[in-house]
Amino acid sequence: MLRISVPIIALLLLAATACEKRPRLRPNPVETGITGGELIFEEDFAKGLDHWNVTSKHWKVVDGRLFTGDGPNQNKGVWLKGVSLPENVRIEFDATSVQGNKPQFEGDMKFEFGGDRPEHASGYIIIFGGWKNSINTIARHDEHGEGRLAVESTHKVTDGQTYHFKVIRLDGEVKWFLGESLVLSVKDREPARGGAFGFNDWDSRVYFDNLKIFAL
């Protein structure tokens, strides 16, 4: 019969206890896409709109930031040229909505990505403060009705406040953060995997800046 000495038994018990008390490791941020990755494009609009296809006359650069302009764009956005988003990607930028020349504050920040072409509703549409600051949504192909994959209305856009957007598309899941706070997430059974990216707008007054795109 195998005999085990008392000191060895004590060591085995101590190791087992240590394993039981060891805290569960949190997921690696690189694996979840929150940080890390390879920076493949950045834009601060200091050199204008050379990297963009502009589809409405109102878009312009003001004080080093992309501005929707003072008239309605009606979903005629600005689309990134020469850079295709990788399938697993993190997009970060700053955005500030203002009342501007509107009779009331709209909120309504919008951008789109993941389409197979640079056109409105070709992929994902993310809207913060849409419909007069009443709805936030991740939509696919249609921001109305069944196209909304996730909706919430807790977060509201504040006039003049700058928000840091962080959106991750990783293995078919889309997550949208404002700062460090998760706003919405979607595990999409039919993910939009295309490479298009653009800022868009209906008729609000919004500034965009400090865009960074990371391959994950």
Calculate the dihedral angle through the C-alpha atoms of 206, 203, 111, 54, rounding to the nearest 10 degrees: -90
> Mean pLDDT over all residues of the chain?
90
- Residue 161 pLDDT exceeds 80: yes
Structural domain includes residue 16: no
Q: Are strands 135-140 and 124-129 parallel, antiparallel or unpaired?
A: antiparallel
N- to C-terminal Cα separation, the chain: 55
Structural domain includes residue 8: no
Q: What's the whole-model pTM score?
A: 0.86
How many CA atoms within 13 Å lie on the side-chain side of 131? 10
Q: What is the pLDDT of residues 19-60, one digit of tens each?
A: 444 444 455 555 678 999 999 999 999 999 999 999 999 999
Structural domain includes residue 2: no
Structural domain includes residue 7: no
- Nearest partner of 102 among 71, 65, 137, 143, judged by Cα: 71
- Residue 105 pLDDT exceeds 60: yes
- Residue 124 pLDDT exceeds 60: yes
Return the percentage of the chain with pLDDT > 70, whole number.
Answer: 86
Which two structure tokens, joined as six digits, stand for 77?
Answer: 């956005």
Q: What is the pLDDT of residues 197-207, one digit of tens each?
A: 999 999 999 99
The total number of structural domains that make up the chain: 1
Q: Residue 3: pLDDT band by 50, 70, 90 thresholds?
A: low
Question: What pLDDT does 116 receive?
Answer: 97
How far out from the chain centre does Cα 185 lie?
10
Structural domain includes residue 1: no
Question: What pLDDT does 100 receive?
Answer: 98
Average pLDDT over residues 73-92: 98
Average pLDDT over residues 68-97: 98
Average pLDDT over residues 180-194: 95
- Residue 120 pLDDT exceeds 90: yes
Q: Residue 108: pLDDT band by 50, 70, 90 thresholds?
A: very high
Structural domain includes residue 182: yes
Residues of the domain holding 194: 25-215
Structural domain includes residue 4: no
Residue 20: which residues within 8 A CB-CB, separation 6 or more?
A: none
Query: What CATH number is attached to the domain comprising 75?
Result: 2.60.120.200
Structural domain includes residue 20: no
Q: CB under 8 Å, gap of 24 or more: what pairs does 140-147 form?
A: 140/188, 140/190, 140/192, 141/192, 147/121
Question: What pLDDT does 24 receive?
Answer: 46
Q: What is the pLDDT of residues 4-27, one digit of tens each?
A: 454 444 444 444 444 444 444 455
Rounded to 5°, the CA angle 15-16-22 comes to 85
DSSP string, 48-117: -STTEEE-STT-EEETTEEE--SS--TT--EEE-S----SSEEEEEEEEEE-TTSSS----EEEEE--SS
